Structure 1
Amino acid sequence: MSEYDGTDNPDTPWREDGASEEDNRGDEAMTGRDRTAFSPNPDEDGKWLSAVVGLLGAVLIAVAVVLDPVASQFWNDVLIGATLFVAGAYNYSRRSSEELGSLGVAVLVALLGLWLVASPFLFGGNGGVEAATDLGFWTDVVVGLLAAGLGAYSAIGIRGRRRDATVRDTAV
Protein backbone atom coordinates (compact mmCIF):
# COMPACT_ATOMS: atom_id res chain seq x y z
CA MET A 1 0.00 0.00 0.00
CA SER A 2 1.47 3.34 -0.98
CA GLU A 3 1.58 6.49 1.12
CA TYR A 4 -1.11 9.13 0.70
CA ASP A 5 0.23 11.73 -1.69
CA GLY A 6 -2.18 14.52 -0.70
CA THR A 7 -4.13 14.48 -3.96
CA ASP A 8 -7.42 12.99 -4.99
CA ASN A 9 -5.65 10.64 -7.35
CA PRO A 10 -7.97 7.64 -7.95
CA ASP A 11 -4.92 5.37 -7.99
CA THR A 12 -4.33 6.19 -4.33
CA PRO A 13 -5.63 3.28 -2.21
CA TRP A 14 -7.07 5.44 0.56
CA ARG A 15 -8.45 8.93 0.93
CA GLU A 16 -8.14 11.63 3.50
CA ASP A 17 -11.73 11.21 4.75
CA GLY A 18 -11.11 7.62 5.83
CA ALA A 19 -13.30 6.00 3.17
CA SER A 20 -11.73 3.80 0.58
CA GLU A 21 -13.01 3.73 -2.96
CA GLU A 22 -12.13 0.07 -3.22
CA ASP A 23 -14.38 -1.29 -0.49
CA ASN A 24 -17.70 -0.16 -2.06
CA ARG A 25 -19.27 0.60 1.30
CA GLY A 26 -20.85 3.83 0.13
CA ASP A 27 -19.69 5.68 3.25
CA GLU A 28 -17.85 8.56 1.64
CA ALA A 29 -19.28 10.89 4.28
CA MET A 30 -17.49 9.03 7.11
CA THR A 31 -14.51 10.76 8.61
CA GLY A 32 -11.97 9.99 11.26
CA ARG A 33 -10.61 6.80 9.76
CA ASP A 34 -13.83 4.82 10.35
CA ARG A 35 -14.02 5.61 14.06
CA THR A 36 -17.48 5.53 15.55
CA ALA A 37 -18.65 6.75 18.92
CA PHE A 38 -18.83 3.91 21.41
CA SER A 39 -20.56 4.35 24.73
CA PRO A 40 -21.07 1.10 26.66
CA ASN A 41 -22.50 2.92 29.71
CA PRO A 42 -24.59 5.84 28.41
CA ASP A 43 -26.66 6.13 31.62
CA GLU A 44 -23.50 6.28 33.77
CA ASP A 45 -24.76 3.32 35.82
CA GLY A 46 -22.87 2.64 39.03
CA LYS A 47 -21.49 6.14 39.41
CA TRP A 48 -23.00 6.50 42.89
CA LEU A 49 -21.42 3.19 43.97
CA SER A 50 -18.00 4.54 43.10
CA ALA A 51 -18.71 7.78 44.96
CA VAL A 52 -19.71 5.85 48.08
CA VAL A 53 -16.52 3.74 47.90
CA GLY A 54 -14.44 6.93 47.69
CA LEU A 55 -16.39 8.38 50.62
CA LEU A 56 -15.76 5.23 52.68
CA GLY A 57 -12.03 5.63 52.05
CA ALA A 58 -12.14 9.26 53.19
CA VAL A 59 -14.09 8.30 56.33
CA LEU A 60 -11.57 5.59 57.16
CA ILE A 61 -8.68 8.05 56.89
CA ALA A 62 -10.51 10.69 58.95
CA VAL A 63 -11.35 8.25 61.73
CA ALA A 64 -7.76 7.02 61.84
CA VAL A 65 -6.44 10.58 62.16
CA VAL A 66 -9.01 11.66 64.76
CA LEU A 67 -8.91 8.56 66.98
CA ASP A 68 -5.12 8.13 66.98
CA PRO A 69 -5.19 4.32 67.25
CA VAL A 70 -2.16 2.08 67.67
CA ALA A 71 0.40 2.39 64.88
CA SER A 72 -0.51 -0.84 63.08
CA GLN A 73 -4.20 0.02 62.94
CA PHE A 74 -3.47 3.64 62.00
CA TRP A 75 -1.30 2.77 59.00
CA ASN A 76 -3.62 -0.02 57.93
CA ASP A 77 -6.59 2.36 57.97
CA VAL A 78 -4.71 5.15 56.18
CA LEU A 79 -3.35 2.89 53.43
CA ILE A 80 -6.60 1.01 52.89
CA GLY A 81 -8.59 4.25 53.09
CA ALA A 82 -6.37 5.93 50.50
CA THR A 83 -6.65 2.92 48.21
CA LEU A 84 -10.44 2.89 48.56
CA PHE A 85 -10.57 6.62 47.84
CA VAL A 86 -8.42 6.30 44.70
CA ALA A 87 -10.32 3.22 43.52
CA GLY A 88 -13.67 4.98 43.99
CA ALA A 89 -12.41 8.10 42.21
CA TYR A 90 -11.03 6.04 39.31
CA ASN A 91 -14.26 4.13 38.72
CA TYR A 92 -16.29 7.31 39.22
CA SER A 93 -14.22 8.99 36.52
CA ARG A 94 -14.67 6.06 34.14
CA ARG A 95 -18.40 5.90 34.72
CA SER A 96 -18.77 9.68 34.33
CA SER A 97 -17.18 9.27 30.89
CA GLU A 98 -19.92 6.77 29.97
CA GLU A 99 -17.53 3.83 30.19
CA LEU A 100 -17.93 0.72 32.27
CA GLY A 101 -16.23 0.67 35.63
CA SER A 102 -13.10 -1.42 36.01
CA LEU A 103 -13.88 -4.99 37.05
CA GLY A 104 -10.42 -5.37 38.58
CA VAL A 105 -10.89 -2.26 40.72
CA ALA A 106 -14.29 -3.47 41.91
CA VAL A 107 -12.80 -6.83 42.93
CA LEU A 108 -9.93 -5.02 44.68
CA VAL A 109 -12.47 -2.97 46.66
CA ALA A 110 -14.28 -6.16 47.72
CA LEU A 111 -11.02 -7.80 48.82
CA LEU A 112 -9.92 -4.69 50.73
CA GLY A 113 -13.29 -4.71 52.48
CA LEU A 114 -12.76 -8.28 53.60
CA TRP A 115 -9.28 -7.35 54.80
CA LEU A 116 -10.72 -4.47 56.83
CA VAL A 117 -13.13 -6.81 58.58
CA ALA A 118 -10.30 -9.20 59.51
CA SER A 119 -7.59 -6.61 60.32
CA PRO A 120 -8.72 -5.58 63.84
CA PHE A 121 -8.52 -9.24 64.87
CA LEU A 122 -5.13 -9.74 63.24
CA PHE A 123 -3.50 -6.57 64.58
CA GLY A 124 -4.99 -6.84 68.07
CA GLY A 125 -3.41 -8.21 71.18
CA ASN A 126 -4.33 -11.44 73.00
CA GLY A 127 -8.05 -11.37 72.24
CA GLY A 128 -7.55 -9.70 68.92
CA VAL A 129 -9.30 -6.43 69.72
CA GLU A 130 -7.49 -5.04 72.77
CA ALA A 131 -5.11 -2.91 70.71
CA ALA A 132 -7.90 -1.31 68.71
CA THR A 133 -10.21 1.32 70.16
CA ASP A 134 -13.88 0.38 70.21
CA LEU A 135 -14.83 3.04 67.67
CA GLY A 136 -11.83 2.18 65.50
CA PHE A 137 -12.72 -1.49 65.66
CA TRP A 138 -16.33 -0.93 64.63
CA THR A 139 -15.35 1.58 61.96
CA ASP A 140 -13.05 -1.00 60.37
CA VAL A 141 -15.72 -3.70 60.54
CA VAL A 142 -18.58 -1.54 59.20
CA VAL A 143 -16.52 0.15 56.48
CA GLY A 144 -15.06 -3.26 55.57
CA LEU A 145 -18.48 -4.87 55.25
CA LEU A 146 -19.80 -1.95 53.20
CA ALA A 147 -16.74 -1.95 50.94
CA ALA A 148 -16.91 -5.71 50.45
CA GLY A 149 -20.61 -5.55 49.62
CA LEU A 150 -20.33 -2.54 47.31
CA GLY A 151 -17.25 -3.96 45.58
CA ALA A 152 -18.90 -7.34 44.99
CA TYR A 153 -22.16 -5.73 43.81
CA SER A 154 -20.23 -3.42 41.49
CA ALA A 155 -18.15 -6.29 40.09
CA ILE A 156 -21.25 -8.34 39.34
CA GLY A 157 -22.91 -5.33 37.71
CA ILE A 158 -19.85 -4.52 35.58
CA ARG A 159 -19.56 -8.12 34.46
CA GLY A 160 -23.24 -8.21 33.46
CA ARG A 161 -23.11 -4.87 31.66
CA ARG A 162 -19.95 -5.87 29.84
CA ARG A 163 -21.66 -9.02 28.61
CA ASP A 164 -24.79 -7.10 27.55
CA ALA A 165 -23.02 -4.12 25.97
CA THR A 166 -23.82 -3.54 22.34
CA VAL A 167 -20.97 -4.50 20.13
CA ARG A 168 -19.49 -1.71 18.06
CA ASP A 169 -19.89 -2.17 14.33
CA THR A 170 -16.65 -2.65 12.48
CA ALA A 171 -15.63 -0.91 9.29
CA VAL A 172 -15.49 -4.07 7.22
Structure 2
Amino acid sequence: MGEHDPDAKHDERGGADAIDRDRIEYDPNPDKRGLWLSAIIAVLGGWMVVQAVAFDLAASQFWNAVFAGAALLAVGAYNSYRRSKAEFGSAGLAVFAALVGLWLVAAPFLIGPGEGIVAAQSDVGAWNDVVVGLLTLGLGLYSASKIRDRRRDADARQAATFDRRGH
Protein backbone atom coordinates (compact mmCIF):
# COMPACT_ATOMS: atom_id res chain seq x y z
CA MET A 1 0.00 0.00 0.00
CA GLY A 2 1.41 3.43 -0.96
CA GLU A 3 1.58 6.39 1.40
CA HIS A 4 -0.98 8.29 -0.69
CA ASP A 5 -3.54 5.49 -0.54
CA PRO A 6 -6.62 6.63 1.42
CA ASP A 7 -6.64 3.30 3.28
CA ALA A 8 -3.04 3.71 4.54
CA LYS A 9 -2.52 3.83 8.29
CA HIS A 10 -2.84 7.34 9.63
CA ASP A 11 -1.95 8.53 13.11
CA GLU A 12 -5.24 10.48 13.42
CA ARG A 13 -3.48 13.73 14.33
CA GLY A 14 -4.48 16.83 12.42
CA GLY A 15 -4.09 20.58 12.37
CA ALA A 16 -1.13 21.82 14.42
CA ASP A 17 -0.46 18.28 15.70
CA ALA A 18 0.15 16.81 12.24
CA ILE A 19 3.53 15.14 11.94
CA ASP A 20 6.16 16.50 9.56
CA ARG A 21 5.58 13.61 7.21
CA ASP A 22 1.94 14.68 6.84
CA ARG A 23 2.66 18.39 6.33
CA ILE A 24 4.14 19.76 3.14
CA GLU A 25 5.08 23.42 3.45
CA TYR A 26 4.76 25.61 0.37
CA ASP A 27 7.72 27.97 0.21
CA PRO A 28 8.18 29.07 -3.42
CA ASN A 29 10.58 31.95 -2.75
CA PRO A 30 12.65 30.94 0.29
CA ASP A 31 15.41 33.48 -0.40
CA LYS A 32 12.87 36.33 -0.65
CA ARG A 33 14.29 37.22 -4.05
CA GLY A 34 13.09 40.49 -5.51
CA LEU A 35 12.29 42.06 -2.15
CA TRP A 36 14.63 44.98 -2.77
CA LEU A 37 13.31 45.58 -6.30
CA SER A 38 9.81 45.98 -4.96
CA ALA A 39 11.00 48.11 -2.05
CA ILE A 40 12.82 50.46 -4.44
CA ILE A 41 9.65 50.84 -6.52
CA ALA A 42 7.75 51.73 -3.32
CA VAL A 43 10.42 54.27 -2.34
CA LEU A 44 10.29 55.84 -5.81
CA GLY A 45 6.52 56.12 -5.43
CA GLY A 46 6.94 57.78 -2.05
CA TRP A 47 9.47 60.17 -3.58
CA MET A 48 6.98 61.14 -6.29
CA VAL A 49 4.42 62.11 -3.64
CA VAL A 50 7.02 64.07 -1.65
CA GLN A 51 8.37 65.90 -4.69
CA ALA A 52 4.82 66.91 -5.65
CA VAL A 53 4.68 68.91 -2.43
CA ALA A 54 8.33 70.01 -2.39
CA PHE A 55 8.57 71.43 -5.93
CA ASP A 56 6.54 74.27 -7.37
CA LEU A 57 4.35 72.27 -9.74
CA ALA A 58 1.40 73.23 -11.85
CA ALA A 59 -1.86 71.60 -10.79
CA SER A 60 -1.67 69.05 -13.60
CA GLN A 61 1.91 68.08 -12.69
CA PHE A 62 1.04 67.97 -9.00
CA TRP A 63 -1.87 65.55 -9.40
CA ASN A 64 0.02 63.48 -11.94
CA ALA A 65 2.89 63.07 -9.47
CA VAL A 66 0.54 62.30 -6.56
CA PHE A 67 -1.50 59.65 -8.43
CA ALA A 68 1.51 58.03 -10.09
CA GLY A 69 3.44 58.07 -6.81
CA ALA A 70 0.55 56.58 -4.85
CA ALA A 71 0.17 53.82 -7.45
CA LEU A 72 3.89 52.99 -7.35
CA LEU A 73 3.92 53.10 -3.57
CA ALA A 74 0.97 50.68 -3.37
CA VAL A 75 2.36 48.27 -5.99
CA GLY A 76 5.85 48.27 -4.50
CA ALA A 77 4.57 47.83 -0.95
CA TYR A 78 2.28 44.96 -1.96
CA ASN A 79 4.99 43.08 -3.84
CA SER A 80 7.48 43.74 -1.03
CA TYR A 81 5.02 42.32 1.48
CA ARG A 82 4.44 39.19 -0.62
CA ARG A 83 8.15 38.65 -1.11
CA SER A 84 8.89 39.18 2.57
CA LYS A 85 6.52 36.26 3.23
CA ALA A 86 8.64 34.07 0.88
CA GLU A 87 6.04 34.19 -1.90
CA PHE A 88 6.36 35.42 -5.45
CA GLY A 89 5.47 38.99 -6.26
CA SER A 90 2.72 39.79 -8.74
CA ALA A 91 4.05 39.94 -12.30
CA GLY A 92 0.94 41.84 -13.38
CA LEU A 93 1.55 44.55 -10.79
CA ALA A 94 5.22 44.74 -11.78
CA VAL A 95 4.12 45.34 -15.39
CA PHE A 96 1.66 47.95 -14.10
CA ALA A 97 4.56 49.69 -12.31
CA ALA A 98 6.51 49.64 -15.58
CA LEU A 99 3.54 51.21 -17.40
CA VAL A 100 3.30 53.93 -14.74
CA GLY A 101 7.02 54.50 -15.28
CA LEU A 102 6.44 54.81 -19.03
CA TRP A 103 3.67 57.33 -18.33
CA LEU A 104 6.02 59.32 -16.08
CA VAL A 105 8.57 59.50 -18.90
CA ALA A 106 5.96 60.70 -21.40
CA ALA A 107 3.91 62.98 -19.14
CA PRO A 108 6.27 66.00 -19.03
CA PHE A 109 6.20 66.10 -22.81
CA LEU A 110 2.44 65.66 -22.97
CA ILE A 111 1.85 68.14 -20.15
CA GLY A 112 4.60 70.33 -21.53
CA PRO A 113 5.23 74.05 -21.33
CA GLY A 114 2.42 76.19 -22.54
CA GLU A 115 -0.52 78.23 -21.44
CA GLY A 116 -3.55 77.12 -19.53
CA ILE A 117 -4.35 74.35 -17.12
CA VAL A 118 -1.95 71.79 -18.66
CA ALA A 119 1.10 74.03 -18.46
CA ALA A 120 4.15 72.60 -16.70
CA GLN A 121 5.66 75.22 -14.41
CA SER A 122 8.61 73.28 -13.02
CA ASP A 123 11.44 71.96 -15.18
CA VAL A 124 12.95 70.26 -12.11
CA GLY A 125 9.67 68.43 -11.51
CA ALA A 126 9.46 67.42 -15.16
CA TRP A 127 12.99 65.99 -15.25
CA ASN A 128 12.40 64.29 -11.92
CA ASP A 129 9.39 62.56 -13.49
CA VAL A 130 11.53 61.40 -16.42
CA VAL A 131 14.29 60.00 -14.19
CA VAL A 132 11.88 58.29 -11.80
CA GLY A 133 9.90 57.00 -14.77
CA LEU A 134 12.98 55.47 -16.42
CA LEU A 135 14.05 53.82 -13.16
CA THR A 136 10.54 52.49 -12.54
CA LEU A 137 10.18 51.27 -16.11
CA GLY A 138 13.44 49.32 -15.88
CA LEU A 139 12.81 47.93 -12.41
CA GLY A 140 9.21 46.98 -13.20
CA LEU A 141 10.08 45.13 -16.41
CA TYR A 142 13.04 43.36 -14.79
CA SER A 143 10.92 42.38 -11.79
CA ALA A 144 8.07 41.06 -13.98
CA SER A 145 10.54 39.06 -16.05
CA LYS A 146 12.14 37.49 -12.98
CA ILE A 147 8.77 36.71 -11.38
CA ARG A 148 7.64 34.99 -14.58
CA ASP A 149 10.87 32.98 -14.83
CA ARG A 150 10.77 31.91 -11.18
CA ARG A 151 7.11 30.89 -11.38
CA ARG A 152 7.85 28.80 -14.45
CA ASP A 153 10.77 27.08 -12.72
CA ALA A 154 9.00 26.53 -9.38
CA ASP A 155 7.54 23.21 -8.36
CA ALA A 156 3.81 22.76 -8.51
CA ARG A 157 2.11 23.96 -5.36
CA GLN A 158 1.61 21.17 -2.88
CA ALA A 159 -1.25 20.84 -0.44
CA ALA A 160 -0.52 22.38 2.96
CA THR A 161 -1.47 19.19 4.81
CA PHE A 162 -1.85 15.78 3.26
CA ASP A 163 -4.57 13.76 4.89
CA ARG A 164 -4.47 10.11 3.85
CA ARG A 165 -8.01 9.55 5.05
CA GLY A 166 -9.29 11.45 2.01
CA HIS A 167 -10.69 14.43 3.91
TM-score by length of 1: 0.79
Q: Which structure's CA Rg is the greater one? A: 1
User: Structure 1 residue 94 and structure 2 residue 82: aligned?
Assistant: yes
What's the CA shift for 1:24? 3.2
| AA aligned opposite 1:152 | L
1:164 to 150, 153, 167: 153
- 1:23 maps to what in 2? 6
Higher relative CO (Cα under 8 Å, sequence separation at least 6) belongs to 2
Please list every run of 5 or more consecutive structure 2 residues that lacks an aligned counterpart in the other structure.
none
Q: What percent identity do the matched residue pairs reach?
A: 52
**Mapped partners of 2:28, 2:53: distance in 1:** 40
2:42 to 49, 54, 67: 54
Q: Is the 8 A contact 1:120 1:132 kept in 2?
A: no
Structure 1 pair 26–145 and aligned structure 2 pair: CA distance change class (3 A): farther
- 1:68 maps to what in 2? 56
**Mapped partners of 1:54, 1:131: distance in 2:** 25
- 1:123 maps to what in 2? 111
Q: Is the 8 A contact 1:47 1:92 kept in 2?
A: yes
- 2:30 maps to what in 1? 42
**Mapped partners of 2:73, 2:89: distance in 1:** 15
User: Structure 1 residue 151 and structure 2 residue 140: aligned?
Assistant: yes
Structure 1 pair 24–148 and aligned structure 2 pair: CA distance change class (3 A): same
**Mapped partners of 1:99, 1:56: distance in 2:** 22
Give RMSD over aligned pairs: 2.6
**Mapped partners of 1:30, 1:132: distance in 2:** 68
User: Structure 1 residue 142 and structure 2 residue 125: aligned?
Assistant: no
Please list every run of 5 or more consecutive structure 1 residues that lacks an aligned counterpart in the other structure.
1-18
Number of matched pairs: 152
2:100 to 112, 124, 139: 112
What's the CA shift for 1:100? 0.1
**Mapped partners of 1:69, 1:116: distance in 2:** 15
TM-score by length of 2: 0.81
The C-alpha deviation readout for 1:5-28, integer Å capped at 9, x for no partner, is: xxxxxxxxxxxxxx99x7134453
**Mapped partners of 2:131, 2:9: distance in 1:** 59
